[in-house]
Chain A
Amino acid sequence: MKIKLVRTGGFIPITKAVESDVNLTDKELAGLLKIIQSGPSAPRIKDGNYYELTVGSNSTPVDLEKVPDEYKALFSKLKSDLKIVK
Chain B
Amino acid sequence: MPAQVLVPLVIVIPLTVSALLAAIGRWLPRRVTDSIATATAVVLVGLTVSLLIGARGRRLVVWFGGWRPSARTHESVGIVFVVDRIGAGIAVLVATLVLAGLVYSWHYFESVEALYHTLVLLFGAGMCGFVLSGDLFDMFVFFELMGAAAYALTGHQIEEPQTVQGALHFGVVNSLGAYFSLTGIALLYARTGELGLAQIRHQLTPGHVDALVVVGFVFVITGLLVKAAVVPFHFWTADAEAVAPSPICVLFSGAMVVLGVYGVARVYWVAFSGVLPSSGVRRALLVLGALTAVLGAVMCFAQHHLKRMLAYSTISHVGLFILGLATLSPDGLAGTALYVLGHAGAKGALFLAAGIVLNHFGTVDERALHGVGRALPVTGCLYGLGGLALAGLPPFGTFAGKSVAEDALRTAGQPWAIAVFMLSSVLTGGAVLRAALRVFAGLGDRPAEADRWSAERADKEEPETGRRLLRTPPAMLVPAVVLLAAAAAIGLVPGLVGAVARSASEFVDGQGYGAAALRGATGVSMGSEHLTEWTASGLALSLTSVALATALAVVASYRTRATVRAAAMLRVPMQTLRRIHVGHIGDSVAWMVAGVVVLAALVGL
Partners in one complex: no
Taking Cβ atoms with an 8 Å cutoff, the residues of B that contact A are none
Taking Cβ atoms with an 8 Å cutoff, the residues of A that contact B are none
